[in-house]
Amino acid sequence: MLDVGANLPLLQEALNINVLSTVAITTAFFEAFGQASHKVVVNMTAHSADNAYPSYGYNSICKSAKKMALNILAKERDDIKVLHFNPASVDTPAFHQILDQIDTPAFHQILDQSFNAEIRAMFQKIIDDKQLLPADHVAHVLVTYVGHDSFESGSFVTATKENVPKSH
């Protein structure tokens, strides 16, 4: 965390991209589509919005701030619902590109510099336990939650193999 405080321009850039841009885009969207009878904001997020992980200072600060800003919106406006959606670990070509690099010296150097043992073990467990979810399943979970509209505004939902909401 001290590295974050030592590099405030990088923190400001991260907040501008992840938090302030979200507020600006959300505001512009509702100015353009404010007459819509049903409004839902989906915040693509992760557990780092609520949990402190070593080496995730910038990430956690931004995700927490964005979640709070959208929760305030949900409290201020009864006509807007907010869903915080964590897609979890998705099996994508980009993830496989990362996996292809795991055994290279350059990747190990980055990993050793960027993450501690707890974080390395967490990522290794995802790979070893085959916890990657198919992208179409994650999309189905999200569309089903939004489509059923039965979630409480401000809810945090994580995609899992089991959590597709039941049809009405």
The span from the CA of 62 to the CA of 85, in Å, is 15
Q: If 0-12 CB within 10 Å is exposed, 13-18 middle and 19+ buried, where does residue 113 land?
A: exposed
- Does residue 153 contact residue 110 with C-beta atoms inside 8 Å? no
Residue partners of 62: CB distance under 8 A and separation at least 6: 14, 15, 17, 18, 19
2-158 belongs to CATH 3.90.550.10: no
pLDDT at 47: 87
pLDDT of 75: 93
**Secondary structure E strands in the chain:** 39-44, 80-86, 90-91, 133-134, 155-158
Q: What is the per-residue pLDDT for 168?
A: 46
pLDDT of residue 90: 87
**What end-to-end distance do the CA atoms of the chain give, in Å?**
45
Look at residue 110 in the predicted model and tell me its pLDDT.
Answer: 60
Spell out, as residue ranges, where the chain has pLDDT lower than 70: 1-2, 4, 99, 102-103, 106-115, 164-168
For residue 165, the 8-state DSSP code is: P
What was the pLDDT predicted at 162? 79
Domain boundaries, the chain: 2-158
User: Mean pLDDT for the chain?
Assistant: 84
* Sequence-separated (6 or more) residues with CB below 8 Å from residue 110: none
pLDDT, one tens digit per residue, over 49-90 is 898 887 778 888 999 999 999 999 999 998 999 999 999 888
